[in-house]
Amino acid sequence: MALYELEDFYPNYRGELFGGEDIKGLNIYTEQDEKVGTVSTALVDDNGRFRYLVMDTGFWIFGKKVLLPVGRFRSDPRSQRIYLKGLSRHQAEQLPEYDEHMTVDYDYEERVRGVYRTAPLENGVPLEGLPLETRTTAAPVRRPEEPERVSNLSPAQPVSNPTASTPGLNRLDKDADRDRTPYNHNTYQYEQEPSLYAMNEQDHQTFRLYEEQLVAHKDRRKVGEVTVGKHVETETTQVAVPVQQERIVIQHSPTANRGTAITPGTNDFQSGEVMRVDLYEETVDITKQPVVRDEVVIRKEVQQGTVTTEETLRREELDIDTAGRSLIDERPLQ
């Protein structure tokens, strides 16, 4: 899962998350009030959840910037301070350095988590400050199904190499290796390690708790296409056109003067053309002319439908230990 610096994910993070305040520049202290650095920025995941503070260690370990998981500090709004929970100077020196231009990937986070997984001490007490007896006489953890272990190490015995000469501690180390949770690069979730990433209202008063909501985004995607074109079809047709033709009709009509003699010389017999008559007829000249036969209107219609999906949502809730004292929950009614 990608991580983003606070100001990149929430450009208005002061107003949105902290009521106008700013966590950048807050001083970071141990539980013994030793200043160890300041807050440079914070890193959030894809869902906007806080995962780390970027701590500038300043003079504590020579200005090195390191990542501090949200489960390993508590905030105090009244004093405007951040307090470390169980981080020694030795552990801080083992943390890989953070640079704002780098990409925080899974391998880098595993290097960070590997340091914090090394049995943190309460209240960040440095390992060097513990008495030798405390370091070498801690009773190994016994499982309910195992017989009680008897340690051969007495409090007065000085041991130069506890793991090499103490059977009880050797066995404890093997049990720890056997019980170490295997983490998978592809399936790792921050919720697997609440000691590193769990947030609560008591320790993180300046931070917000988040929950997931379903947000439906509709995307238009092409599911097909319709092509509308034209093609030419041919057919043979006949058309009947009435036409007119002229012809000569010679009609002989009987006359009452038939057989009557005429005076010679009045109408001499003549040969040759006497009359010219022009004859006409109609011919048909057929041409083809395109005309509009029909109009086609093409449109798209939107059909409304409902798509039902199911998703698992997560919500952050408070884990409050009242230590036997009464508690007034003033959360607003929903």
CA distance 41 to 331: 29
19 Rama class: left (phi>0) / alpha (psi -120 to 50) / beta: left
Q: What is the pLDDT of residue 166?
A: 37
Neighbours of 248 (CB within 10 A): 6
CA distance 249 to 103: 114
Q: What is the pLDDT of residue 202?
A: 78
Buried b (16+ CB within 10 A) or exposed e, 254-264: eeeeeeeeeee
pTM: 0.48
CA distance 186 to 4: 19
CA distance 45 to 43: 7
Q: What is the pLDDT of residue 122?
A: 43
DSSP β-ladder status, 65-69 and 73-76: unpaired
- The DSSP call for residue 48 is S
Are 140 and 169 within 8 A, CB to CB? yes
Q: What is the pLDDT of residue 48?
A: 87
Give the dihedral sign, CA 104/107/113/114.
negative
Domains in the chain: ranges and CATH: 1-127+184-207 (3.90.50.10)
User: Mean pLDDT by 10-residue block, N- to C-terminus, for the chain (334 residues)?
Assistant: 87 83 88 89 90 89 88 87 85 88 91 82 41 36 39 36 39 42 82 89 70 77 87 88 87 77 65 76 87 86 83 76 66 59
Q: What is the pLDDT of residue 216?
A: 81
Tokens matching residue 229: 């074109």
- Encoded amino acid at 127, one letter: L
Q: Is 133 helix (H, G, I), strand (E, B) or coil?
A: helix
Are 214 and 315 within 8 A, CB to CB? no
Tokens matching residue 326: 């009464």
Instruction: Give me the residues paired with residue 83 across strands.
Output: 29, 74
One DSSP character per residue, 141-177 reads: P--TTSPPP-----TT---S-HHHH-HHHHHHHHHHH
Distances (CA, A) of 61 to 34, 70, 115: 13, 21, 16
CA distance 297 to 134: 91
Give the dihedral sign, CA 311/316/322/323.
positive
Instruction: Give me the residues paired with residue 28 across strands.
Output: 37, 82
Q: What is the pLDDT of residue 109?
A: 93
Are 90 and 220 within 8 A, CB to CB? no
Tell the residue number behind the tokens 């949200």, with chain if given: 70
CA distance 52 to 96: 14
Pick from 74, 10, 73: which is nearest to 43 by CA? 10
Tokens matching residue 333: 């009614």
Are 125 and 91 within 8 A, CB to CB? no
Locate the DSSP E strands across the chain: 4-5, 27-29, 35-44, 50-56, 65-69, 73-76, 81-84
